[in-house]
Amino acid sequence: MIQTIRNAWRVPELKKKMLFTIMALLIFRLGAAIPVPYIDSDSLRAYMESQTGILGLMNAMSGSAFSMATVFALSIQPYINSSIIIQLLTVAIPALERLAREGGEEGRKKIASITRYTTVAIALLQGFGYYTLVRSYGLVNGGSLNSIWVGLVIVISFTAGSAFLMWLGEQITEFGIGNGISIILFAGIVSRFPQMVMDGFTGLQLWNNMRTGAVSEQTFTDLGMTAEQAAEQMKVYARQALAPWALVLIVIGMLALVVFIVYINNAERRIPVQYAKRVVGRKMYGGQSTHIPMKVSMAGVMPIIFAQSIASLPATICGFMGVTAESEGFGGGMMRLFDTTKPFYSVLYFLLIVGFSYFYSTMAFNPVEVANNLKKNGGFIPGLRPGKPTIDFLMRVLNKITMFGALYLSVIAIAPIITGNLVGYSSLAIGGTSVIIVVGVALETVKQMEAQMLMRHYKGFLE
Q: How far is CA 108 from the centre of its chain?
A: 23
Whether 375 contacts 387, CB under 8 Å: yes
Residue 282 has pLDDT above 60, yes or no: yes
What is the reported pLDDT for 120?
92
What is the reported pLDDT for 156?
92
The b/e string for 24-39 (b: 16+ C-beta within 10 A; e otherwise) is bbeebeebbeebbebb
What dihedral angle (degrees, nearest 10) is formed by the CA atoms of 31, 120, 167, 107? 170
What is the reported pLDDT for 163?
92
HSE toward the beta carbon, residue 389, CA cutoff 13 A: 7
Q: What is the mean pLDDT of the chain?
A: 78
What dihedral angle (degrees, nearest 10) is formed by the CA atoms of 132, 133, 136, 138? -110
Superfamily name and number for 1-191? SecY subunit domain (1.10.3370.10)
For 278, which DSSP code? E
**Long-range contacts made by residues 450-456, C-beta under 8 angstroms, separation at least 24?**
450/4, 452/8, 452/13, 452/14, 453/4, 453/7, 453/8, 453/11, 453/14, 456/11, 456/13, 456/14
- Return d(Cα 237, Cα 360) in angstroms, integer: 43
What is the reported pLDDT for 463?
45
What is the reported pLDDT for 118?
92
User: Residue ranges per domain, the chain?
Assistant: 1-191
What is the reported pLDDT for 164?
93
Write the pLDDT tens digit of every residue in 224-265: 777 777 777 676 666 666 667 667 777 787 788 788 888 887
What is the reported pLDDT for 280?
61
Write the pLDDT tens digit of every residue in 115-158: 899 999 999 988 888 888 787 777 776 555 557 888 888 889 99
Q: How far is CA 174 from the centre of its chain?
A: 20
Partners of residue 295 on adjacent β-strands: 268
Strands 283-285 and 278-280: antiparallel
- Return d(Cα 162, Cα 65) in angstroms, integer: 12
Whether 204 contacts 423, CB under 8 Å: no
- Return d(Cα 91, Cα 238) in angstroms, integer: 48
More confident residue, 190 or 233: 190
Strands 268-275 and 289-295: antiparallel
CA distances from 418 to 75, 323, 342, 412, 425 (A): 27, 25, 9, 10, 10
Closest CA to 247 of 281, 199, 212, 213: 199
Write the pLDDT tens digit of every residue in 70-125: 888 888 888 888 888 888 788 778 888 788 777 677 888 888 888 899 999 999 98
Write the pLDDT tens digit of every residue in 20-77: 999 999 999 888 888 888 887 777 777 666 555 566 667 767 777 777 888 888 888 8
CA distances from 85 to 79, 90, 96 (A): 10, 9, 12
Q: Where are the beta strands (DSSP E) in 296-396?
A: 379-380
What is the reported pLDDT for 429?
54
The DSSP secondary structure of 198-265, one letter per residue, reads: HHHHHHHHHHHHHHHTSS-HHHHHHTT--HHHHHHHHHHHHHH---HHHHHHHHHHHHHHHHHHHHHH
- Return d(Cα 430, Cα 324) in angstroms, integer: 18
- Return d(Cα 191, Cα 32) in angstroms, integer: 11
Q: How far is CA 27 from the centre of its chain?
A: 20
Whether 206 contacts 458, CB under 8 Å: no
- Return d(Cα 40, Cα 278) in angstroms, integer: 75
